[in-house]
Amino acid sequence: MRGLLIALLTAVSSLVALPAAQAAPQPRTGFELTGEWTTEAGEQAYLRATGLPVSEIGTTAQGRPIQLVRVGSRTARTVVLFICSQHGDEPAGREACLIRMRSLPRTSSVTYLFVPNANPDGRAADTRGNSDGIDVNRDHLLLRTAEARAMASVIRDWKPDVIHDLHEFGPSAPYYVKDVLWLWPRNLNVADGVHDLSETLSRSYVRPSVEAAGRTSGVYGIHVDPVTGEPVRQVAGDGQERILRNTGGLKHGMGLLVETNADNTPAFRVESHLKALDGTQSFVAGNGSAIEAANAASRAVRTGPVYFGGADNQPPAPEDVVSPQPCGYVLTAAEFLTVRDRLALHGVTSQYLRGGDRIVPVRQEARPIIPLLLDPRADEPLFKARVVAQC
């Protein structure tokens, strides 16, 4: 009897539709919930709620963590790095990064890395610079700040194929009248393939992505006459190697700067950044082989001129072109100790010389950046070392 009852109950239960298991709700940023910028505590709670791997890559002068968030495998073929809100008073990029990281595929051929708050002290104080007043985006060569050192370590260790840097520009009417501005590495020491693909990323992927969403866009650093639409003058966006867009290109990554207009509403700015991120994701999805080839060619030991000035839209002065390239740079043992750690963060290797000196040979993977770090003719060298002209 008991067996018959169990059988009947089992049969009935098989006919009753059970409610489908509901997916756990996705976490939301403070900005999504309240319309206010996500707080420091809210950011940490949100990162925990995503369940994504988070590592500490540095600590600011005021003790705040500088963090790296990984989406995807450690061994994916392509690595994309998003640097979010290097300037603390430009928060829309940070919000876009926090929102986007939760929706990316966690198993794919691409690893997405985020530094969601690249200037935590500046964000807390709502200042452009860090707590020492230093503009972090002008420190990617000398590495004086903990923030820039943290980003250099990520670039060295992960070797990103694409580096997407998120910013905002302030009121500058009537010339900067676009909603979104973008730019690629202009430094002449960037390998041709990396430069060309970076420009393609800006013009052929980010631009149509943001403009399809109803945003106006253009090249960063160019004042445009609001009536004629013609360029008036260049005010920013040159080839300075200390700017991340250029440093990233010198370190073999397709570089991109995206700036949204702070005259627009916060929601419009965040959404504009998200549309730009769409463009970068489409670029990576459709150009894997070309990205890999350009990156490999850039990393290969190269010869050719070294440029200490100029940009892709500004010819260098004759005295700023050195050809052939130097063989290397010599430092005494004491001099080397003063720069050893920062050279290591840049991925620069050196060799012992008889007598205790060190030579940094130019013919190595870090070749594009070495003369800019050590040559007395550079604009802002890390150290003015002794030039070895010929090997």
Average pLDDT of 205-227?
A: 91
Residue 97 has pLDDT above 60, yes or no: yes
Residue with the bigger pLDDT between 10 and 315: it is 315
Based on the number of CB atoms within 10 Å of its own CB, is 212 exposed (0-12), middle (13-18) or buried (19 or more)? exposed
Specify the pLDDT at position 23.
58
pLDDT band at 233 (very low <50, low <70, confident <90, very high): confident
Backbone phi and psi for residue 92, each to the nearest 5 degrees, phi listed first: -65, -35
- What the block records as the tokens of 222 is 């160019």
Of 234, 290, 58, 226, the C-alpha closest to 155 is 58
Of 142, 188, 140, the C-alpha closest to 323 is 188
| Domains and their CATH numbers in the chain | 36-299 (3.40.630.10), 306-388 (no CATH)
How far is residue 41 CA from its own chain's centroid? 24
Average pLDDT of 126-140?
A: 97
Specify the pLDDT at position 108.
86
**What residues act catalytically?**
259
Angstrom distance (rounded) from CA 148 to CA 139 = 6
- List, for residues 236-272, the tens digit of each pLDDT value: 767 799 999 999 999 999 989 999 999 999 999 999 9
Structural contact between residues 143 and 63, judged by C-beta atoms closer than 8 angstroms: no
Instruction: Write 93-96 long-range contacts (CB < 8 A, 24+).
Output: 93/166, 93/167, 93/168, 93/258, 93/260, 93/273, 94/37, 94/38, 94/43, 94/123, 94/166, 95/29, 95/31, 95/37, 95/38, 95/266, 95/270, 95/273, 96/166, 96/270, 96/273, 96/274, 96/277
* pTM for the full predicted model: 0.92
Cα distances (angstroms) measured from residue 222 to each of 307, 313, 379: 23, 11, 23
Query: In the chain, pLDDT over 70 holds for what percent of residues?
Result: 93
